[in-house]
Amino acid sequence: MEKNNRAHAKRFLILSGIILFCWNLVGAIASANFDPNFFWTKNEITSHELVEKIDTYSSMINWTTGKVRTEIALPIKFDNPNIGQLFSQYSQEIRELLRQNLIKALGYLRISAIFSLKDYYSQKNDIRFEIIDRVDSAFYYPPVQKKNQFHGIAELALYGKNGLATLFYRDIENMALPTNYPSSKMAEYYDSIIIDTLIFKEFNPSIEMRIYDQDGRLIYGPEIVEKKALTDKGICEFTTSLTYAFKSARSGTKILYIMPIEVKGKMGTDLVIHNEDAAKIMANPLTVKCLKQAQIIVVKPEN
C-alpha cells in the first residue's frame, strides 16, 4: 500500500512539473517579453555552413543543414492596451508575411542544372500547389519582442519525409551505373567521398547535383541514390570547410578525396571528374554501395 502511494505521489509530482513548465512557456509567449534565444539559439550559423542569402526577402538557403529560413521584423504600434490582443494581431500578420516571403525566396532554390524552383511555379501548376502546402507546414517560430519590434522566423526543411525536395525526387527513376569500369571485391574500397570544388568558384549547389566522368557517363546523381537515403539525407552534404568535411558524420574512415576537372550545366550545378577517379569509385561494390547511400560531401569554399 505504501509503495503504491509513493508511486502515485511520484507521478503527481512529474505531472505537476510538466503542467508548470507548459504554463510558464505559454505565459512567456503571451507576454512576448521572454528571451529570444529561448527558441532561436540553435539557428546561429556556424563557419562551416554553406549559406546562400536572398536579401530581397530577408531569407537564406542553408545548404549544409538543408533548411530555407525567412526572417521578418515589424515595428510595434502600441495602439491596443490589451497586450494579449496586440500579440495575437502581430502574430497573424508576421506569419502571413513570413509565408509570402518564404514562397518568393524558394523561387531561387536551384533544383537541377537547368531548373530553379521558380520555373516550376510557372510551368507546373500541380506541383506549385504542393510547394505552397509544404510552406504552410513549415515551422513558424513564436514571435518575440525585441525593444519596439516583433521578430518572426520561419524554417522549411528540404529533406526528410515531408521535406520540399521529396516533391522533385519522387518521380526520378533509378539508373544503372556504367559497366565499362572494372569491378572486384578485392579492389580498394572507400566508405565516403569528398569532392573539393576549391578551384571552381562558379560551382553552385542544387538538390539534384550530378557528377559525370570525362565521357559524359553519369557517375552520381538522384538517379543513382537509393530513394530512402535520398529522401532522408538529400543528394549530398554541402560545406564550406574541408576540415569539417573530413569530420562530418557522412565521412567514414576510408575517404576518397576528389577534385573535379570541370563544372557543367546551365547553372553550374554539375561536376565532371577524371575517369581515373570514376574508376576508383566503381572498382569495388562496397564503394558503390556507399555511393548509393549518398555518402558524399561537397566542399564549396566561400568566395
Decide which of 167, 202, 225 is a domain's last residue: 167
Window from 23-27, 83-87, 187-191, 269-273 with minimum mean pLDDT: 23-27
Which sign does the torsion angle of CA 22, 26, 28, 29 carry? positive
Pair 212, 95 in one domain: no
**Residue 81: what pLDDT?**
58
Could you tell me if 41 and 163 lie in one domain? yes
For residue range 177-230, list pLDDT tens digits in order.
999 999 999 999 999 999 999 999 999 999 999 999 999 999 999 999 999 999
Q: What per-residue confidence (pLDDT) applies to 274? A: 98
Instruction: Band the pLDDT of 28: cuts 50, 70, 90.
Output: very low
Q: Which domain holds residue 288?
A: 175-299
In a domain, 257, yes or no: yes
- Work out how many domains the chain is built from and give that number: 2
Residue 147, domain member (yes or no): yes
Q: Is residue 67 part of a domain?
A: yes
Mean pLDDT (the chain, rounded): 86
Count of C-beta atoms within a 10 Å radius of residue 52: 16
Name the 3-class secondary structure at 271. Answer: strand
Last residue of a domain, one of 167, 191, 208: 167
Positive or negative: CA dihedral 54, 68, 52, 172: negative
- pLDDT of amino acid 71: 95
Query: Could you give the percent of the chain with pLDDT greater than 90?
Result: 71
* Choice among 37-41, 64-68, 202-206, 210-214 with the minimum mean pLDDT: 37-41
Contacts of 123 (CB under 8 A, 6+ apart): none
All three cell numbers of 276: 581515373
Task: Judge residue 223's burial from the number of C-beta atoms within 10 Å of its C-beta, 0-12 exposed, 13-18 middle, 19 or more buried.
Answer: middle
CA distances (Å), origin 280, targets 104, 255, 261, 285: 42, 11, 16, 11
Does residue 234 sit in the same domain as residue 125?
Answer: no
pLDDT tens digits, 3-22:
444 444 444 334 434 433 34
State pTM to two decimals. 0.82
User: Do 128 and 210 belong to one domain?
Assistant: no
**Which residue among 126, 149, 167 closes a domain?**
167
- Residue 97 located in a structural domain: yes
In a domain, 86, yes or no: yes
H helix count then E strand count, the chain:
10, 14
Q: Do 186 and 155 belong together in one domain?
A: no
7 assigned to some structural domain = no
Res 86: pLDDT = 66
Element (H, E) at 263: strand 262-264
Q: What is the pLDDT of residue 168?
A: 95
Based on the fold, state whether residues 41 and 161 are members of the same structural domain: yes
Q: Which is more confident, 9 or 297?
A: 297
Same domain, 90 and 182: no
Are 247 and 146 contained in the same domain?
no
pLDDT of residue 285: 97
* 24 vs 258, residue with greater confidence: 258
Q: Do 189 and 67 sit in the same domain of this protein?
A: no
CB 142 within 8 A of CB 31: no
Classify residue 114: in a domain, yes or no. yes
Residue 197 and residue 106 share a domain: no
Asked whether residue 119 is assigned to any structural domain, the reply reads yes
